Amino acid sequence: MAKINVKDTEITIISVEERDYISLTDMANAKESESRAADIIKNWIRTRYTLEFLGTWEQINNPNFKVVEFDHFKMQAGLPSFVLSVSEWIEKTNAIGIIVRKGKYGGTYAHKDIAFEFGSAISVPFKLYLITEFQRLKEEEQKQLGWTAKRELAKLNYHIHTDAIKHNLIPQELSPTQTSIIYANEADVLNVALFGITAKQWREANPDLKGNIRDYATINELICLSNMENLNAVFINEKIPQKERLIKLNKIAIQQMSILQDVEKRKLLK
């Protein structure tokens, strides 16, 4: 669940089968008081234009949509006596584009395509602001997803890295304490090569921060770290001494970070 703010109105967005559904109830509250939200939605759904839009959307996206029932509603649309509720629309036509939820975040929700169309019933500016804020939310989610993916990649490569250490640097019959010291030293080879300090030095310099030095790394640093972990695993397999590996990795870190920074600058200039 997520929320966006459109013209001082907080609007809830939920995910239904990996599709975004926006609260029509919240949107309607931007036009009238909360007690009138249901009436606004009911008046909107009973118009011929809305029914044609909903019916077309369902026929495109819903193989189980009951077209015969839809045609029945469409024939009545526009008549003074015609009344249609969201629940009746869903029940009679097996529609999936609009849903009704109960509970804490209850209300009427619609697929984003339909919600954007409903935005016109509030006002044209509201619809445009809604689309803008929704797109901004999706962009932020993509950025966060990218950061998480890089972080997970770094973790995965760390396992490859530590496996190489186990097979090449750890003698037989070492105690767990001894092996942990070797792992820590190897992790610090990467830390020093990239960040210039060990994990312990970072913790001592940042006693109020939670996590570790890598949790506060930039995307570029995580990319570089991921590459360095792979290369260090290769260097370990080749039995290159730690001191030589540190020098090599430091040069690689400088080179890769310079390239990544240059890429960022070119993006900003576009």
What is the residue-level pLDDT of the chain in tens, covering all 270 positions? 788 888 888 999 998 888 899 999 999 988 765 458 888 898 899 899 999 999 999 999 999 999 999 999 988 887 888 889 999 999 999 999 999 998 777 899 999 999 999 998 888 899 999 999 998 888 887 777 666 666 767 766 666 566 665 544 333 443 555 334 455 677 888 888 888 888 888 899 998 888 888 888 888 788 888 888 889 888 888 888 887 888 888 888 888 887 777 665 555 444
* Residue among 253, 225, 246 at smallest CA distance from 160: 225
Do 211 and 190 meet the contact criterion of CB atoms below 8 Å apart?
no
Predicted confidence at residue 118, as pLDDT, reads 94
User: In the chain, where are the structural domains located?
Assistant: 2-122, 142-269
* Residue among 22, 26, 47 at smallest CA distance from 38: 26
Predicted confidence at residue 130, as pLDDT, reads 92
Tell me the C-alpha to C-alpha distance, in Å, between residue 99 and each of 18, 83, 141, 151, 222.
14, 18, 24, 36, 41
Predicted confidence at residue 56, as pLDDT, reads 94
pTM over 0.95: no
Predicted confidence at residue 172, as pLDDT, reads 42
DSSP3 helix / strand / coil % (the chain, rounded to 5): 70, 10, 20
